[in-house]
Amino acid sequence: MKGYLDRIEEGKFAVILVDEINKEFILPKAELPVGSSEQSYFDLTIENDKITSLKLNEQTTSTEQEKVDNLISKIRSKNKDSKFKKK
């Protein structure tokens, strides 16, 4: 199963979203794998409604970041070609 580190709250708690089951999990930040940051993706195991295994998935994190970067580039390039003049 895949999870996504959405945010860090109060500098102490990691909020991980799991789209597959439409759930949010809150863990102590100290339990995150080394190298984790906001917008990181994880391979995880959930048992009895708790995350029992959490591994950073650098491949998915990189791929998803590239998608976001490409979308931002497209949006910015479209804004330059606007037909409306700024006053």
pLDDT of residue 52: 94
85 located within any domain = no
73 located within any domain = yes
24 located within any domain = yes
61 located within any domain = yes
75 located within any domain = yes
Question: pLDDT confidence of 81, banded at 50, 70, 90?
Answer: low
87 located within any domain = no
Q: Looking at the 3D structure of the chain, how many domains does it have?
A: 1
pLDDT of residue 74: 86
63 located within any domain = yes
Query: Measured over all CA atoms, what is the biggest interatomic distance in the chain, rounded to whole angstroms?
Result: 59
pLDDT of 80 above 90 = no
Looking at the chain, the whole-number percentage of residues with pLDDT higher than 70 is: 90
Secondary structure E strands in 1-87: 2-9, 13-18, 23-28, 41-47, 50-56
Report the CATH number that the domain containing residue 14 is assigned in CATH: 2.40.50
Question: pLDDT confidence of 38, banded at 50, 70, 90?
Answer: very high
pTM of the predicted model, to two decimals? 0.78
State how far the Cα of 48 lies from the Cα of 7, in Å rounded to an integer. Answer: 23
Q: Domain of residue 53: give its range.
A: 2-80
Is 20 within 8 Å of 3 (Cβ atoms)? no
